[in-house]
């Protein structure tokens, strides 16, 4: 709980000083002119949140490996952290797979490894191919974990796991006995349980896997809560836009929204995982960014992401770099420090 307050200092980096910003998040490069959205800082109501200090952070994680597990918004967060840390030490681009899904950066001066392990759903899922073409319909196996991220799990000291936006699709949910439900389907013999149920079950499976991983050494797993989109006057595929240039106030957001519901169920699953983890010495905690980001419709690329005219839609899901997503690293360092020390 808190509010965005004016901050004349702005970001620690610029789109010119950080060479690793993906072009689709480099909003100024693509023509965004306003800079006021950079001049705000998150201020909690009942505590102090220190500004992220990249030098202190690198000293804190020296000799460790930190992995982001999740979708392209998780990658967005990693890229923000990468830019902040590059103000102190230039990272080595250590590994990139053929699809740029798994990416590994290394800071040799601090023996610190930063990576993204990309996954759509956390659990095993595949898109149906109909008549040789992708259908936009997915099958999720809630009892099977996506091996794209579990293979590297044992080497990580710290985990930041997040996911959500891929669940807003037509999905059929499976367990070991077959189809048990769906999301956004119109099937007479299948119950539509909704996005929340599917997301909850995926997080439950993922956190249970981390808790029960015998060969894993992760000391802390942080769950970044739902990061809202801000489409106005339409959805992503019907001309929705996000062209605001300043934050919303607390009274302008609704904590009864679907975004808040998804945040709440994630908090429930974190608590359940933490109860089991306490028996084994593993810790779980939340990076609770949902309310803060509900108030930031001004921070998305919108039309300034490089592909607007080719694909015909605005990006109101991801976040400009630099931008309000950098505040997630204020959250990250403070929560991690409290859990480790």
Residue listed under structure tokens 């840390």: 85
Q: Which of 79, 146, 298, 315 is catalytic?
A: 315
Whether 72 is a known active-site residue: answer yes
Phi, psi of 196, rounded to the nearest 5 degrees = -60, -45
| H helix and E strand count, the chain | 8, 13
Please say if 315 is a catalytic residue.
yes
* Contact criterion met (CB below 8 Å) for 77 and 61: no
d(CA 260, CA 318): 18
Chain centre distance of CA 208: 19
Catalytic pick among 24, 72, 86, 205: 72
- Catalytic residue list contains 318: yes
Residue in this structure with the two tokens 């930041």, named with its chain if needed: 160
Contact yes or no for 145/151 (Cβ under 8 A): no
H helices of the chain, where? 54-60, 72-85, 147-150, 194-211, 258-278, 290-294, 308-311, 327-340
Catalytic site residue from 209, 318, 326, 330: 318
**Hey, which residues are catalytic here?**
72, 315, 318
């Amino acid at each position: 709980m808190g509010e965005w307050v004016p901050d004349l200092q702005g970001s620690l980096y610029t789109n010119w000083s950080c060479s690793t910003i993906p072009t689709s998040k480099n909003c100024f490069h693509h023509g965004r002119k306003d800079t006021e959205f950079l001049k705000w800082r998150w201020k909690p109501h009942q505590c102090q949140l220190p500004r992220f200090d990249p030098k202190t952070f690198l000293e804190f994680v020296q000799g460790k490996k930190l992995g982001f597990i999740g979708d392209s918004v998780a990658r967005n967060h990693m890229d923000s952290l990468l830019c902040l840390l590059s103000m102190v030490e230039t990272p080595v681009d250590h590994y990139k797979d053929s699809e740029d899904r798994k990416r590994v950066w290394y800071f040799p001066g601090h023996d610190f490894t930063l990576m993204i392990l990309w996954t759509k759903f956390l659990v095993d899922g595949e898109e149906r191919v109909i008549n040789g073409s992708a259908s936009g319909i997915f099958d999720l196996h809630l009892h099977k974990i996506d091996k794209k991220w579990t293979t590297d799990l044992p080497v990580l000291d710290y985990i930041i796991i997040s996911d959500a936006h891929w669940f807003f699709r037509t999905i059929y949910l499976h367990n070991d006995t077959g189809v048990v439900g769906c999301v956004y389907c119109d099937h007479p013999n299948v119950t539509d349980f909704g996005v929340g149920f599917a997301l909850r079950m995926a997080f439950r499976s993922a956190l249970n896997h981390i808790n029960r991983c015998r060969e894993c050494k992760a000391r802390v797993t942080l769950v970044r809560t739902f990061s809202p989109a801000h489409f106005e006057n339409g959805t992503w595929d019907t001309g929705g836009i996000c062209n605001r240039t300043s934050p919303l106030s607390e009274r302008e957001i609704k904590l009864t929204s679907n975004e808040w519901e998804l945040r709440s169920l994630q908090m429930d699953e974190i608590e359940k995982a933490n109860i089991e983890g306490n028996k084994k010495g593993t810790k779980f905690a939340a990076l609770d960014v949902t309310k803060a980001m509900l108030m930031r419709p001004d921070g998305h690329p919108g039309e300034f992401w490089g592909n607007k005219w080719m694909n015909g839609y605005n990006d109101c899901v991801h976040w400009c770099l630099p931008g309000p997503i950098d505040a997630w690293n204020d959250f990250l360092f403070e929560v991690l420090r409290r859990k480790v020390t």
